[in-house]
Amino acid sequence: MNNPACLLVNPIGDAMETDKLRFATIGAGFWTHYQLAGWSEIPSVQCVAISNRTTSKADLVAHEFGISRVYADPYQMLRKEKVDFVDIVTDVDTHSTFVKMAAELKIPVVCQKPMASNYTSAQEMVRVCGQAAIPFFVNENWRWQTPIRELKRVLDSGVIGIPFRARLDMISGFPVFRNQPFLKSLDHFILTDLGSHILDVARFLFGEATSLFCQIHKVHKDIAGEDVATVVLKMNSQTSVTVNLAYAENYLERECFPQTLIFVEGDQGSAEISPDYFVRVTTSSGTVATLHAPPHFSWADPSYEVVHSSIVPCQRNILLGLRGGAAETTGEDNLKTAKLVFASYESAANNKVIALES
C-alpha cells in the first residue's frame, strides 16, 4: 500500500521553517499535559484551541498552556479555527472518529498511539487520510528514546556484525494503573498499550516481521485485559526477536520502569541497553559502555523521564513531515506495527504461529 499523502503537505508544505504552525488539541487527559509540554519546547508551533467533552478539564489545560479557546464540540472547533494540524490525544476507541472528522475537513492529523482498537479501523484511518490527501502521523515516541537511538546507530555501524537474535524486555512492577486507572477496563491491554511501543521498536531496529507467535497471561484479577505477554518474531532480516512485556506489579530485585532493556547478539559481538541508560558493546576487543541518559525537561515526570523526553524529538520529526519532509511515524508506517499487535492477539487466541505478508 502506497500513501504519498503522508509525505506531502498541503496547504502548509510551502511554509518557511520559521513560520509558526497553529494546531488544535482534542482531549484533556493524562497524556495531553505531556504532549502539549513537548510541543511547547518547539518554538515554531502553537496550540490555539482545545476541545474536551468535559470543558472544566479543558479549561485547566488551557490555563496551564496559555491556550486561547476551549470547545466542548471538536467538530465545531475544527470548523471554526484556522489550524495547520490537529493533535488527537484521546482514548483509543475515539481515534477513528476524530481522524475521519479531520480528514473530512482536510486538516492534517497527529494521533496518539495505539492508532486504533482493531486492525480494520487502523486500515480505514490510513485510507481516509490518503483519500483526503492529508498527512497522517502517529505520535509513536518510544523509538525516539536516547538509548534506543544510540543502539540503532551501533547496529547500523556493523560493529557487532549481523544480528541473529535479540531480546526486548519491558518488565515492570510499577503500579501503572494508579496514574491511568482506565487501563483496567481495556479488553486488550498490554499488547495495545505497551506492545504498540515495543513492537514498533523491534521494527525500527530489525525491519519487518515475517511470522510471530504470542502467549498472554493475566496476573491482576481485577482487570479486563492481559498484563503479561511474550511475542516471538522472525524478521525478514533473519533476526529472531523475543519481546517480553509485563505489568504484573510484582516484586523485582531492581525496578527499571520505564526503561526498555535490550540485548542483541551478532556474529561478531553483542550490544545491549542495560539499566540506567548504558549502551554496552562487546566484541573481541572487550566491552565498551557509554552513558546515553535522556535529556531533562522540567515538566517531565521523573518516573517517566526517558519516555516523556522522547516526545520532543518525535514531535520535531513529525513537524518535519508536516512541512513536507520525510517523517518516520506516518500512519502508513504505524499500520505495520498495528498489524503485529493484532496478529499477536490472534496467535494467543489460537495458540499458533501467524505468517505475515512481506
Tell me the CATH architecture of domain 4-141+314-327.
3-Layer(aba) Sandwich (3.40)
Residue 273 β-bridge partners: 262, 279
Portions of the chain given CATH number 3.40.50.720 = 4-141+314-327
Residue 136 β-bridge partners: 109
- Averaged over 202-210, what is the pLDDT? 98
- Averaged over 54-66, what is the pLDDT? 98
More confident call, 29 vs 252: 29
Q: What is the dotted CATH code of the domain comprising 146-293+337-355?
A: 3.30.360.10
Q: Is the peptide bond before 114 cis (omega within 30 degrees of 0)?
A: yes
CB of 279 closer than 8 Å to CB of 154: yes
Is pLDDT above 50 for 9? no
CB of 178 closer than 8 Å to CB of 184: no
Portions of the chain given CATH number 3.30.360.10 = 146-293+337-355
Residue reference for cell 529472531: 240
- Averaged over 212-237, what is the pLDDT? 96
Q: Tell me: the pLDDT tens digits for 271-306?
A: 999 999 999 999 999 999 999 999 999 999 998 999
* pTM (2 d.p.): 0.93
CB of 102 closer than 8 Å to CB of 128: no
Band (pLDDT 50/70/90 cuts) for residue 249 is confident
- Averaged over 114-125, what is the pLDDT? 97
How long, in residues, is the chain?
Answer: 358
In one-letter notation, the amino acid at residue 223 is I
SS3 326: coil
